[in-house]
Amino acid sequence: MAITFQLNGKKQTLEVEAEMPLLWALRDVVGLTGTKYGCGMALCGACTVHVNGEPVRACVTPVATVAGKNITTIEAAVETKLGKVVREAWIEAQVPQCGYCQSGQIMSATALLSKNKKPTDADIDTAMAGNICRCGTYNAIRAAIKDAAQKLA
Amino acid sequence: MDITLLKLLNTPNSSVNKGQNRRDFLKTSALASSGLVIGFYLSGGNKIASAQQPPKANASPNAFLRITKDGAVTVQVKHLEFGQGVMTSLPMMVAEELDCDWTKVRAELAPANAVYAHTMFGMQMTGGSSSVINSWTQMRTVGATARAMLVSAAAQKWKVKPEQCRAENGVVIGPAGQRAPFGQLADAANKLDTPQKVTLKNTKDFKLIGKPTRRLDSAVKVNGSAMFGMDITAKQVPNLHVALVKRPPAFGGTVKSFNVDKVKGIPGVTHVVQTANGVAVVAKSFWAAKTGRDALVVEWDLESASKATTAMMQASYRETALKPGLPTGKVSDGAALNNLKAAGKTVTAEFEMPYLAHAPMEPLNCTVKFDGDSCEIWVGTQFQTVDQGAAAKVAGLKPEQVKINTMIAGGGFGRRANPASDYIIEAVEIAKQAKVPVKTVWTREDDIKGGYYRPMFVHRVTAGVDAAGKIAGWDHTIVGQSIIGGTAFEPMMVKGGIDSTSVEGVTDTPYEIPNMNVTLHTTKTGVPVLWWRSVGHTHTAFAMESMMDDLAKQAGKDPVEFRREYLAKHPRILKVLNTAAEKSGWGSALPTGRARGIAVHESFGSVCAHVAEVSVEKGQIKVHRVTSAIDCGLAVNPLSIVAQVEGAMVFGLSAALYGKVTLKDGVVDQSNFHDYPMLRLAEMPKIDVHIIDSGASSPTGVGEPGTPPIAPAVANAVFALTGKRLRTLPFNLDEVSKA
């Protein structure tokens, strides 16, 4: 079926199965591969995108449910004013090692910072709880979020 | 992967004879018109290997270094980048000797080619925390050679002697102050003969090596543009299909029959093909392939499949451990046992370590384009040479007809270095039958259930201290599967029935323990096993460092002081131990409800110690802070060393707190991150890493040594806090709550 939504600010119409997860529609149909597959069960956060500004796990979100909504992926999220600051903070803190989970980490972090200008450690714990990193970059992630918050203030 | 063992490795496909040490340079001509290209190989010492006539396998357009007219310096990185930072550390070594402008340096991953063989192991591979060590002389020589040629080119241009010129920050400077950027000299330099001998800098003259240096791959890893193997799409490989494989529910099962009735008609599904280990559904997208696989009905023949059940194996391993196994070479002729009988205080401890999955964030995948007489592969692999040979065999081609493009990988931890090349040959089988380009993708469930685990182990140790508080004897029996047994490497890497990856960290312990007896029982279970970040040290360090802590208690001594007594001949280890202790505030008061534990372990040529500060609340262990010290020889990039020690520690901590793969009747119980959990951000301890400035002139391993000491450090801290010894991994929370 044809499903239409806003993808990174542009109208996108896809001819796909309604139950296909948004993740695979983005990766295999649209060809945007910045959003990653890690678990397929909303357990690791690698596939995090924004749906109407909220962080959502694309791997368990049927594409039909986002019809008419605004989807933002990593490719566009790091180009906004906030996103650029977060991206630079990530580099400043030298966060990525293998880098595979970092799209999802950054999507969760930008969603947090867009609503909470001064996140506490507890706020960060909560907002990032759904994102796994196997390289152990968590302390660098926390430092980068705090650095970005300071620069955005 | 184990360094000492892999030194023995050689492969039939390799054109490199590791027995020869003569180094030759070659300058490839393929890119002569676009600047300077420097290649390098270890010659076989025979007539094919002159510098002018490189052997065919080396006639690759991909050398190590390319300097183009715009001044860009591109380094081909022969190792897999999977987080450890080789795309930065290897270029740093080239750039140091090249004296180029670091901001002009780029890194690319090299494809499979004999020219990129590991200089110690003779095949292209990444493992054993050895990427930096084995590249140390090689990459600096590449840089120094290119610099010499650029300087010569400038000298010719200015009609002066090369000795009158010097290179600095990407520019050659002449005696009269003439300046020529590298890019302008590259073409002329490329026409010169390659110098056969160059002089490398003294370590004291290093400008870049040793300086905290940011990764070259950061920018692409914060905007989604980094290309992992999983990200190959039809944009790179036209008409690309996706395959998922239904594999047997128990290891060793085979396909009896399969029914595609329910698969037919699923939109996007194009092929169903049988492989050696299952049935693959090929489709236009991952989702279509998954839908097809879910609908596929396979009848399995499980007669000869593994019936392994963890609970039974635990009992059987513990019983086996009661009897001595095969001697390991660390034998005290019964003195250990006699001395133990006479010892004042003895401790008998059983340690149990489970199967562990690697669970890299990027699930396994491999893209194959097969067209009858050639095969092109895109894959994140630690084992290019082995995979190339294995893929060729399945494809019915020669290894040189198989091109492997090395893709950056989302972790690996040993899983992508499989002597059986399982996920590569399966992908080739599928593409060969489907006759379309195929990306075979593993789901997370496939990954957790798919085997090739860190083997399950039981250690039984009886050790004691005499009246003077000295170790009287140590009797140690190890029970577990061999990682090497049954692989092509067995003849070279298993000696006298002992796979030294099963006993490393015990038999070669630096502690001066009198009367130590170590034996090994090697079990067979049908569950496929593989090296997992730090290999045998993952379990041996836990047993050794828990026992040392226990004996310190028996001797009535401080755990740090007790260890020092047995390390008198090892100043390097002592310094690491003392640094971690001192920086952690060892011995100083902590808030009520907290305690510290320490462990130190030598692996991959380096020494790492962790001090863990823990509390136990409601049966949960909370690690608040970890203070680490590492001596990894000459520190090439302190930023990556800190990142790797942190990462290796967290990797070990996740496993110690949660990691466990169990089986029932051959079927794996776990499937995804809900039942195979990982440490999350809120649980992350604060960590301070102290790099020892040892004055060493070369580096040692970094990627793995941070893993082994964390589990015993935490267990020892829990003991200090509760008096309860935790000897089972992952830590049994019931045992803690009873404390």
Three-state SS annotation for chain A: CEEEEEECCEEEEEECCCCCEHHHHHHHHHCCCCCCCCCCCCCCCCCEEEECCEEEEHHHCEHHHHCCCEEECHHHHCCCHHHHHHHHHHHHCCCCCCCCCHHHHHHHHHHHHHHCCCCCHHHHHHHCCCCCCCCCCHHHHHHHHHHHHHHHC
Find the CB nearest B226 among A27, A32, A99: A99
CA distance A55 to chain B (A): 16
Per-residue model confidence (pLDDT) at position B333 = 63
DSSP summary character for residue B20: -
> Which residue among A87, A124, A142 sits closest to B222, beta carbon to beta carbon?
A87
- B320's tokens: 């086996």
Residues of B in contact with A106 (CB under 8 A): 222
CATH no. for residue A118? 1.10.150.120
- A31 and B CB contact within 8 Å: yes
Name the least confident of B288-292, B380-384, B616-620. B616-620
A43 vs B83, B650, B672: nearest CB? B672
Convert the pLDDT of each residue in A17-62 to its tens digit: 999 999 999 999 999 999 999 999 999 999 999 999 999 999 999 9
Section B147-151 average pLDDT = 95
User: What is the β-pairing status of strands B606-617 and B595-603?
Assistant: antiparallel
| Nearest residue in A to B650, CA atom | A136
- Determine the pLDDT at residue B14: 33
B217 CB within 8 Å of a chain A CB: yes
CA distance A40 to chain B (A): 7
Q: Which amino acid is at B485?
A: G
> Are residues A83 and A63 part of one domain?
no
Is the same domain home to A29 and A91? no
Whether B329 contacts B495, CB under 8 Å: no
Q: Which two tokens stand for residue A118?
A: 């001064």
Model-level ipTM above the cut of 0.85: yes
Q: CB–CB of A38/A44 below 8 Å? A: yes
Q: Nearest Cβ partner of A135 from B411, B445, B682?
A: B411
Distance CA B646, CA B686 (A): 10
Task: Answer for the pair B230, B240: CB distance below 8 angstroms, yes or no.
Answer: no
Question: Which residue among A40, A134, A137 places its CB closest to the CB of B359?
Answer: A134
**Structural contact between residues B189 and B152, judged by C-beta atoms closer than 8 angstroms:** yes
CB contact, 8 Å: B410 with chain A?
yes
- Contact assessment for residue B349 and residue B550, using Cβ atoms and an 8 Å cutoff: yes
Q: Are residues A62 and A111 in the same domain?
A: no
Residue of A nearest to B84 (CA): A97
- Residue B366: Cβ within 10 Å count: 33
Residues 241-300 of B with CB under 8 A from A: 242, 267, 284-288, 291
Reference A74, options A100, A95, A39; nearest CA is A100
Which pLDDT does position B737 carry in this prediction? 56
CB atoms closer than 10 angstroms to residue B569 = 9
Q: Which residue has 């940011």 as its token pair? A: B214
- Which residue is associated with the tokens 């999977």? B82
For chain B, the residue count is 739
A40 interfaces chain B, CB cutoff of 8 Å: yes
Beta-bridge partner residues of B602: B607
Q: Which of B83-87, B482-486, B709-713 has the lowest mean pLDDT?
A: B482-486
Of residues B220, B650, B672, nearest to A136 (C-beta) = B650
Mean pLDDT of B190-207: 93
Query: CA B470 from chain center: how many Å?
Result: 37
Q: Which amino acid is at B458?
A: V
Angle A84-A36-A107 from CA coordinates, rounded to 5°: 35
Average pLDDT over residues B553-571: 97
Across the interface, whether the CB atoms of A96 and B361 are under 8 A apart is answered no
Partner residues linked to B271 by β-bridges: B282
pLDDT at B490: 86
Q: pLDDT tens-digit profile of A56-90?
A: 999 999 999 999 999 999 999 999 999 999 999 99
B444–A41 CB contact, under 8 Å: yes
Pair (A119, A134) in one structural domain: yes
> Which of B315, B274, B580 minimizes the C-alpha distance to B432?
B274
Instruction: State how far the Cα of B534 lies from the Cα of B531, in Å rounded to an integer.
Output: 7
Same-domain check for residues A90 and A136: yes
| Percent of chain A topping pLDDT 70 | 100
Partner B contacted by A136 (CB < 8 A) = yes
Please, which residues have CB within 8 angstroms of residue B366's CB and are 6 or more apart in sequence?
B229, B377, B378, B379, B423, B424, B426, B427, B439, B440
Cβ-based contacts of B684 with chain A (< 8 Å): 136, 138-139, 142
User: Which residues of chain A from 67 to 96 reach within 8 Å of chain B, CB to CB?
Assistant: 73-75, 78, 87, 90-91, 94-96
Partner-chain contact B684 A138, CB within 8 Å? yes
Looking at the complex, report in whole angstroms how far the Cα of residue A67 sits from the nearest Cα belonging to chain B. 19
Q: Are strands B471-481 and B269-275 parallel, antiparallel or unpaired?
A: unpaired
What confidence tens digit (pLDDT) does each residue in B210-220 have?
999 999 999 99
Please name the member of B223, B408, B651 whose beta carbon is closest to the beta carbon of A87.
B223
Same domain membership, residue A86 and residue A66: no
Mean pLDDT of B5-16: 33
Q: C-alpha angle with apex B272: B266 to B277, nearest 5 degrees?
A: 135
CATH number (domain holding residue A64):
3.10.20.30
Pairing of strands B471-481, B516-523: parallel
Residue A62 near chain B (CB below 8 Å): no
Say how far apart CA B94 and CA B117 lie, in whole Å: 17
| Residue where a domain stops, chosen among A73, A88, A107 | A73
Q: What's the domain range around A48?
A: 2-73
- As a whole number, mean pLDDT of residues B25-36 equals 49
In terms of domains, do A138 and A82 share one?
yes
Q: What is the pLDDT of residue B9?
A: 35
Same-domain check for residues A113 and A92: yes
User: Same domain for A61 and A84?
Assistant: no
Tell whether A86 and A69 lie within a shared domain. Answer: no
Confidence of residue B330 (pLDDT cuts 50, 70, 90): confident
Residues A68 and A118 reside in one and the same domain:
no
Q: Looking at the structure, do residues A54 and A107 belong to the same domain, yes or no?
A: no
- Determine contact, residues A113/A152, Cβ cutoff 8 Å: yes
pLDDT band at B589 (very low <50, low <70, confident <90, very high): very high
Task: Select from A46, A74, A139 the Cβ nearest to the Cβ of B223.
Answer: A74
Min Cα distance A150 → chain B (Å) is 19
Q: Which of B233, B413, B639 sits opposite A94 (nearest CB)?
A: B639
How does DSSP assign B177-200, residue by residue?
Answer: S-EEEHHHHHHHHHTSPPPS--PP
Strands in B394-499 per DSSP E: 402-406, 438-441, 457-465, 471-481, 494-495, 498-499
> pLDDT averaged over chain B?
91
Q: Tell me, what's the pLDDT at B314? A: 97
Q: Which of B287, B382, B446 to mutate to test the interface with A (most CBs of A within 10 A)?
A: B287
Check CB contact under 8 Å for B230 and A37: yes
* Domain edge (last residue) among A41, A73, A105: A73
Residues from chain A that touch B288, judged by Cβ atoms under 8 A, are: 17
Residue whose structure tokens are 């006539």: B53
Does B681 sit within 8 Å of A131, measured CB to CB?
yes
Return the residue of A nearest to B655 by Cα: A134
Domains of chain B, start order: 3-209 (3.30.365.10), 233-303+364-441 (3.30.365.10), 321-356+453-738 (3.30.365.10)
Domain count, chain A: 2
Instruction: Tell me how close the Cα of A104 comes to any Cα of chain B, in angstroms.
Output: 9
Domain termination residue (choose one: A73, A91, A113): A73
Q: Does B214 touch chain A (CB under 8 A)?
A: yes
Closest residue in chain A to residue B444, using alpha carbons only: A39
- Give residue-wise pLDDT tens across range B415-464: 999 999 999 999 999 999 999 999 999 999 999 999 999 999 999 999 99
Q: Over 60: is that where the pLDDT of B50 sits?
A: no
Contact with chain A for residue B682, Cβ under 8 A: yes
Note whether A43 contacts B361, CB cutoff 8 Å: no
